[in-house]
Chains A and B, each alone.
Chain A
């Protein structure tokens, strides 16, 4: 059976991280599984972990009165779920539910924050990784604002 460090080393989010950093991060991780429909995060609740999805799909959504939960993004294998653990007040901003059976690694937020405080280099590497994820999600939202499918399809 693979260790957490070996499992996360295979994932693109941690690509390029040295062995020591991976071991430090893996020390805060545990394997998790979610059944279809199972809630992973709930908006407003403490952001006490972040998740690296190894397989399956999860939906990120927000409850809107009279509309129900509106899905704003879906995440799959290799994606990172949750960054509210990095910033005060450490509360989830969205709900996340498993659309398919999800297997992943959950990282304890307090454990990671403490390690990042103690080792600024690790903190920098991890923050850089999350900044990349946030950049990707921001670009995705910008593309949606551009309404990419609605334009450029001729005028005649």
Chain B
């Protein structure tokens, strides 16, 4: 339960309110996180929050976390500088299970900062590209300035190793991508539902419509995976803060098949 000390080795500003920090263990390290898992990051003297792992570097010890400054703890984490120390617990939760999609098509749908937990999936797929058939990444953001990993998205598009489509709600004159919510891109795809696994990540409203769009193309709900976000405090199914009905999102999630979460999300009292 005690956090392990990690030192900040890089700090990249993604958008006005979002920062990616790279951290390495000071001495002891946590086990290597799988794509989709999260860590509890402790900002000294402020508090602790769950943050998805947005990258694991080749050395397996350097972790990347992409953090949006929305409250006291995340603001403190975003303000960390190179050389500062942060506490890390984890990794916790379920993974995307990229291997389960091998041999078939993979559709990734990301909204806003939801691309962060999917980024390790993209890296894993690109490392073993031949194991997958058609790979498609759809990314939506409010505006071009609010799209995270813009440079990396451009390099993925340029590499042509997978289909990458970007869309924003509000375009600038320089924007060359699409305009409209990310869900509109789904209906333009030709999906082979029998062999497609979809992974959606973003704000819950977006995921509901994205999942509906994918299922409208015939993909079974158990082949649609979503990463849920709920207030997590302990990360180890003790405190119950993250409970969604009988589910502990910190341990049974955050990645869950849509078939399992849809009935729970439909209940307003949850």
Residues on A close to B: CB < 8 A? Answer: 12, 57, 59, 68, 70-74, 76-79, 99, 136, 139-140, 143-144, 146-156
Q: Is the CB–CB distance between B179 and A73 below 8 Å?
A: yes
Which 7 interchain pairs have the tightest Cβ spacing? Answer: A149-B112, A152-B203, A156-B71, A74-B178, A148-B206, A143-B181, A71-B171
Interface stretch among B123-131, B140-148, B255-263? B140-148
Min CB–CB distance B184 → chain A (angstroms):
5
In the bound complex, residues from chain A placing their C-beta under 8 Å from that of B68 are: 153-154
Q: How far is the CA of A136 from the CA of B181 in the complex (A)?
A: 11
Complex Cα distance A68/B112, Å?
Answer: 27
B203 in contact with A149 (CB, 8 Å): yes
Given A68-B173, A76-B188, A143-B183; A149-B178 close (CB under 8 Å)? no
Q: Chain B: interface residue count, which band? A: 35 or more
A144 touches B71 (CB 8 A): no
Any chain A CB within 8 A of the CB of B113?
A: yes
Q: Given A144-B181, A156-B71: A74 and B167 within 8 A (CB)?
A: yes
Q: How far is the CA of A57 from the CA of B229 in the complex (A)?
A: 34
Question: Given A156-B70, A156-B72, are A149 and B141 neighbors across the interface (CB < 8 Å)?
Answer: yes
A149 touching B146, Cβ below 8 Å: yes
With a CB–CB cut-off of 8 A, which chain B residues contact A140? 180-181, 183-184
A75 to B39, CA, bound (A): 39
| Identity of the chain A residue whose Cβ is nearest the Cβ of B48 in the assembled complex | A156
Q: Which residue of A lies closest to B169 (CB)?
A: A144
Contacts of B252 in A (CB 8 A): none
Contact A143 B209 (CB under 8 A): yes
A154: which B residues are within 8 A, CB to CB?
49, 68, 70-71, 74, 229, 231
For B167, list chain A residues within 8 Å (CB). Answer: 74
Contact A149 B179 (CB under 8 A): no
Contact pick for A146, options B141, B205, B229, CB 8 Å: B205
CB distance from A55 to the nearest CB of B (A): 11
A-B contact pairs, 25 of them (CB 8 A): A70-B171, A74-B178, A76-B188, A78-B188, A79-B188, A99-B176, A140-B180, A140-B184, A146-B205, A147-B142, A147-B169, A148-B111, A148-B112, A148-B140, A148-B202, A148-B209, A149-B140, A149-B203, A149-B206, A150-B142, A151-B205, A152-B229, A153-B229, A154-B229, A155-B70
User: Which of A12, A77, A148 has the most B CB atoms < 10 Å from its CB?
Assistant: A148
B73 touches A152 (CB 8 A): no
Chain B residues near A151 (CB-CB < 8 A): 203, 205
